[in-house]
Amino acid sequence: MFFNDRHEERADKQAIELDGQQIPQHIAIIMDGNGRWAKGQNLPRVAGHQRGMEVVKDITKAASDLGVKVLTLYAFSTENWKRPETEVGFLMKLPGKFFDTFVPDLIANNIRVNVIGYVDQLPAYTQKAVKNAIAQTANNTGMVLNFALNYGGRSEIVSGAQELAQQVLNGEIKPEDIDETRFSQALMTASLNKYADPDLLIRTSGEERLSNFLLWQIAYSEFVFVDEHWPDFTSEVLKRAIMIYQSRHRRFGGLAENKSDKK
Ligand code: FPP
């Protein structure tokens, strides 16, 4: 069930008929509620993360099948280090477990792995798992599965500003050369090129916060909040979120009346 209660968003929950021409090209997801799901099942919190990892596999395939170009998943934030050591340790081992079992499927589905975040601060074994997966899928030309790992939106913006300041100091650019395009190019999503900004941001588990996720990039994203915990997220929930997205008119601050005027 969705929290949004606008009329068009409550429309027909039975049949989900998506407009194949209006599939969001970049979907970003804040995967929340693993802990609450586990608590509800009388399981330790890490069981929620384990189940969440399996759901990532399903949703990756579902998004790729729908024709999504980039799927960005918030797997570990710069704030998540504050969690108990055992939980952080478990989360750090998840990329290895995930890629060990899932890289063949990624290759079969032509999906390329990318990572944003401060990867060099992760344990060596996590870095290794991530780098191997990136290398093994580097030639794939389909959807980009973009993990945000040790990522924080404010830090990303600060790092980008530092990089631009250095370019000014080096005499490569002048302060007045810094515009939105150049700033975007200094962010971690730069390699996603025209898909750098999410069209649709989904957060699970009923929370309606951004939690320091893609602060620059979500300037014009549509937000959809669903109350399923991430371990209960399914391809049907994904499709409903896309249906809500398609029911909205994105105007990017302009006056365009219909969706064909987008982008
Ligand atoms: C938020 O739920 C979830 C996380 C901080 C971790 C997300 C990780 C996964 C979904 C596993 C997949 C990861 C990989 C690398 C494949 P929470 O623990 O904050 O839940 P709560 O708010 O109910 O406590």
Return d(Cα 201, Cα 26) in angstroms, integer.
9
Give the ligand 1 atom nearest the CA of 48: 18
The arithmetic mean of pLDDT across residues 24-45, rounded, is: 98
Give the per-residue pLDDT at 15.
74
Q: Which residue has the least CA distance to atom 10 on ligand 1?
A: 52
Give the ligand 1 atom nearest the CA of 37: 23
HSE toward the beta carbon, residue 112, CA cutoff 13 A: 13
Mutate-to-test residue for ligand 1 from 36, 37, 41, 49, highest number of ligand atoms within 8 A of CB: 49
On whether the CB atoms of residues 29 and 207 are closer than 8 A, the answer is no
Q: Is the CB of 63 under 6 A from ligand 1?
A: no
80 classed as catalytic: yes
Give the ligand 1 atom nearest the CA of 74: 7
Give the per-residue pLDDT at 252.
72
For residue 33, pLDDT beyond 80: yes
Tens-place pLDDT, residues 163-219 = 999 999 999 999 999 999 999 999 999 999 999 999 999 999 999 999 999 999 999
Neighbours of 30 (CB within 10 A): 24
Neighbours of 74 (CB within 10 A): 24
32 classed as catalytic: yes
Mean predicted lDDT score pLDDT of the chain:
93
On whether the CB atoms of residues 151 and 74 are closer than 8 A, the answer is yes
Per CATH, the homologous superfamily of domain 23-152+197-250 is Decaprenyl diphosphate synthase-like (3.40.1180.10)
Q: Torsions phi, psi of 4, nearest 5? A: -60, 130
Instruction: Report the percent of the chain where pLDDT is more than 70.
Output: 90
**Out of 32, 34, 146, 197, which one is annotated catalytic?**
32
Kindly list the domain boundaries of the chain, sorted by start residue. 23-152+197-250
Return d(Cα 168, Cα 85) in angstroms, integer.
41
Neighbouring residues of 71: CB distance < 8 A, sequence distance ≥ 6: 26, 27, 28, 29, 59, 60, 63, 64, 143, 144, 145, 146
For residue 30, pLDDT beyond 90: yes
Give the per-residue pLDDT at 11.
47
Q: Which residue has the higher pLDDT, 226 or 15?
A: 226
- The model's confidence at residue 6, banded by pLDDT at 50, 70 and 90, is very low
On whether the CB atoms of residues 155 and 118 are closer than 8 A, the answer is yes
Give the per-residue pLDDT at 253.
75
The arithmetic mean of pLDDT across residues 105-132, rounded, is: 98
